[in-house]
Amino acid sequence: MSNKIMTDKQTGEKHCRCFKRCGGCQLDEPYKDQLERKQQKADRMLSKFAPVNRILPMEKPYNYRCKVQNIYGLDRSKRIISGVYQSSGQKIVAVDDCFLEDERAAPIVRSVKKLMKDMRIPPYDIRSGRGILRHTLIRTSRSTGQVMLVLVTAGAMLPAKNNLVKAMRAAHPEITTIVQNICPDGMPLTLGERDIVLFGKGYIEDELCGCRFRISPASFYQVNPLQTEKLYSCAVEAAGISEGVRVIDAYCGTGTIGIICAKNGAEVTGVELNKSACRDAHKNAELNGLENIKFCNDDAGKFMQAMASKGEGCDVLIMDPPRAGASREFIGCAGRLAPQKIVYVSCKIETLERDLKAFRREGYKVTYIQPVDMFPHTMGIETVCLLERNGEKNEAH
pLDDT at 220: 86
CB 100 within 8 A of CB 377: yes
Q: Which of 18-32, 117-131, 241-255, 291-305 has the lowest mean pLDDT?
A: 18-32
Judged against a pLDDT cut of 50, whether residue 23 lies above it is answered with: yes
| Alpha-carbon gap, residue 219 to 226, rounded angstroms | 18
The pLDDT score that the predictor gives to residue 89 is: 60
| Phi, psi torsion values for 166, nearest 5 degrees | -60, -45
Beta strands in the chain, from DSSP E residues, in sequence order: 6-7, 14-15, 67-74, 80-86, 91-94, 133-140, 147-153, 177-182, 194-199, 204-208, 211-215, 246-250, 267-272, 293-297, 316-319, 341-346, 364-372, 382-389
Class of the CATH-defined domain 67-208: mainly beta
Q: Which of 18, 66, 347, 385 is catalytic?
A: 347
Question: Class of 32-59+224-389 per CATH?
Answer: alpha beta
| Greatest mean pLDDT range, 58-72, 182-196, 301-315 | 58-72
Question: Any bridge partners for residue 372, and if so which?
Answer: 56, 382
Classify strands 341-346 and 316-319 as parallel, antiparallel or unpaired.
parallel
pTM listed for this prediction: 0.91
Range list for CATH 2.40.50.1070 in the chain = 67-208
- CA 7 vs. chain centroid, Å, equals 27
Query: Does the structure show a pLDDT above 80 at 231?
Result: yes
The annotated binding site for S-adenosyl-L-methionine is made up of 222, 251, 272, 320
Which amino acid appears at position 296 of this protein?
A: C
Asked if residue 158 has pLDDT above 60, the reply is yes
Residue range(s) of every CATH 3.40.50.150 domain in the chain:
32-59+224-389
- CA–CA separation, 18 and 295 (whole Å): 43
For residues 148 and 328, give the distance between their C-alpha atoms in angstroms, rounded to a whole number.
39
Band (88; pLDDT cuts 50, 70, 90): low
Q: Report the percentage of the chain scoring pLDDT > 90.
A: 78
Annotation marks residue 18 as catalytic: no
- Alpha carbon distance 192, 200 (integer Å): 20
Binding residues: 222, 251, 272, 320
387 closest CA partner among 329, 348, 350, 339? 339
What sign does the dihedral 347-350-351-355 (CA atoms) show?
positive
pLDDT at 1: 42
At 276, the amino acid letter reads S
Go through 288-311 and write b for each residue having 16 or more CB atoms within 10 A of its CB, e for each that does not.
bebeebbbbbebbbebbbebbeee
Give the model's pLDDT for residue 397. Answer: 42
Q: What confidence category does residue 267 fall into, taking pLDDT thresholds of 50, 70 and 90?
A: very high
β-pairing, 80-86 with 91-94? antiparallel
Position 3 pLDDT exceeds 80: no
Find the distance separating the first CA and the last CA of the chain, reported in whole Å. 55
